[in-house]
C-alpha cells in the first residue's frame, strides 16, 4: 500500500473515531489570526483566556491593538505566555493587515503570494502562516505541527526532522487539495494527541492501534 493511501486511510480512521471538529474555534477570521499568534508554543487554554480578556475590554480589533501601548497589550495577553514578544507580534500583524487594506479585502481578493507576504511579517512563521491561510482564509494548505511530526514519524511514514515545506508537500500531494479536508485532518491530529494518546501518539488502545510496526494489513 502506498504512503499516499495510508495518509488517506489514517484520515478516515481518525475522522470516524473523533468526528467533526469544526475548527478553528473563533467567531471571526481576525480572531483566528490573533489566536494563531497567541497559541504559539502555548496551551490553547491559555491563549483562549487571553482572547477572552481582549474581547471583554473590547480590544479585539486591528485598530484597537495598533493604538494601544504595547505594554498594555502585553498585560492583556499575559496568560498566553511570552506576552512581551507576542504583543509585538500582534501589532506587527495588525500593521500588516492595515497596509493590506484590512481583513475583508484580503478575504475578497487573496493575492497569489499571500503566503510569502505572511511569512515576511514579524512573528509569523510557517505554521502560524498556514493556520491563518487555512482557518481564517479557507486556503487549502496542510499545517505541519509538532503533533503531526510525532504521530507520523511514530507510524513510520515520515522522519520527524524533515523540513516544514517538505512535509507540507507530502501531505498536500497525498490528499485532495481541499480546504475542508485539510481543516478537519489537522484538527483531528491535534485532538487525537490531546484527548486520546497523551504520551504515545499511537497506543495500544487508540483508533490507530495496529497501523504501525508493519501490521498495516490487519487494519488498512
Looking up cell 493604538, which residue turns up? 67
My answer on whether omega of the bond before 24 falls inside 30° of 0, hence cis, is yes
Provide DSSP, 106-119.
HHHS--TTHHHHHH
Segment near DNA (CB under 7 A); pick from 2-10, 56-64, 84-92, 105-113: 84-92
214 in the Ramachandran plot: left (φ > 0), alpha (ψ -120 to 50) or beta? left
Looking up cell 467533526, which residue turns up? 20
170 binds DNA per the rule CB under 7 A: no
Q: Is 169 helix (H, G, I), strand (E, B) or coil?
A: helix
Residue 20 CB, nearest approach to DNA (Å): 14
Residues 50-79 within binding reach of DNA (CB under 7 A): 74, 78-79
Residue number, 146 or 203, with CB nearest to DNA: 146
Among 10, 90, 93, 131, which residue interacts with DNA (rule: CB under 7 A)? 131
Among 13, 91, 128, 142, which residue interacts with DNA (rule: CB under 7 A)? 128
23 binds DNA per the rule CB under 7 A: yes
Among 94, 103, 129, 202, which residue interacts with DNA (rule: CB under 7 A)? 129
Looking up cell 498536500, which residue turns up? 172
Q: C-alpha cell of 61?
A: 480589533
Q: Is 187 helix (H, G, I), strand (E, B) or coil?
A: helix
**CA proximity to 44, closest of 21, 18, 64:** 21
Residue number, 194 or 215, with CB nearest to DNA: 194
Segment near DNA (CB under 7 A); pick from 3-11, 60-68, 97-105, 188-196: 188-196
Residue 80 CB, nearest approach to DNA (Å): 7
8 Å CB contact between 212 and 156: yes
Phi, psi of 14 (to 5 degrees): -65, -40
40 binds DNA per the rule CB under 7 A: yes
Segment near DNA (CB under 7 A); pick from 9-17, 18-26, 64-72, 108-116: 18-26
Provide the binding-site residues for DNA, judged by CB under 7 A: 23-25, 35-36, 39-46, 74, 78-79, 81-86, 121-129, 131, 135, 145-147, 161, 190, 193-194
Amino acid at each position: 500500500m502506498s504512503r499516499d493511501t495510508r495518509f488517506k486511510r489514517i484520515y478516515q480512521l481518525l475522522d470516524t473515531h473523533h468526528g467533526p471538529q469544526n475548527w478553528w474555534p473563533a467567531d471571526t477570521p481576525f480572531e483566528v489570526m490573533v489566536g494563531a499568534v497567541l497559541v504559539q508554543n502555548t496551551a490553547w487554554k491559555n491563549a483562549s483566556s487571553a482572547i477572552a480578556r481582549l474581547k471583554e475590554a473590547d480590544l479585539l480589533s486591528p485598530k484597537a491593538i495598533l493604538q494601544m501601548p504595547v505594554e498594555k497589550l502585553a498585560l492583556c495577553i499575559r496568560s498566553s505566555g511570552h506576552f512581551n514578544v507576542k504583543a509585538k507580534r500582534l501589532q506587527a500583524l495588525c500593521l500588516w493587515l492595515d497596509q493590506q487594506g484590512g481583513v475583508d479585502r484580503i478575504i475578497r481578493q487573496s493575492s497569489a503570494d499571500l503566503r510569502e507576504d505572511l511569512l515576511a511579517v514579524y512573528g509569523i512563521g510557517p505554521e502560524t502562516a498556514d493556520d491563518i491561510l487555512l482557518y481564517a482564509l479557507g486556503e487549502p494548505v496542510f499545517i505541519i505541527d509538532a503533533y503531526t511530526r510525532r504521530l507520523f514519524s511514530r507510524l513510520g511514514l515520515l522522519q520527524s526532522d524533515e523540513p516544514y515545506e517538505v512535509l507540507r508537500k507530502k501531505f498536500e500531494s497525498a490528499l485532495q487539495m481541499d480546504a475542508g479536508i485539510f481543516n478537519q485532518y489537522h484538527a483531528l491530529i491535534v485532538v487525537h494527541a490531546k484527548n486520546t494518546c497523551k504520551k504515545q501518539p499511537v497506543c495500544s488502545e487508540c483508533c490507530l492501534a495496529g497501523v504501525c510496526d508493519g501490521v498495516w494489513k490487519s487494519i488498512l
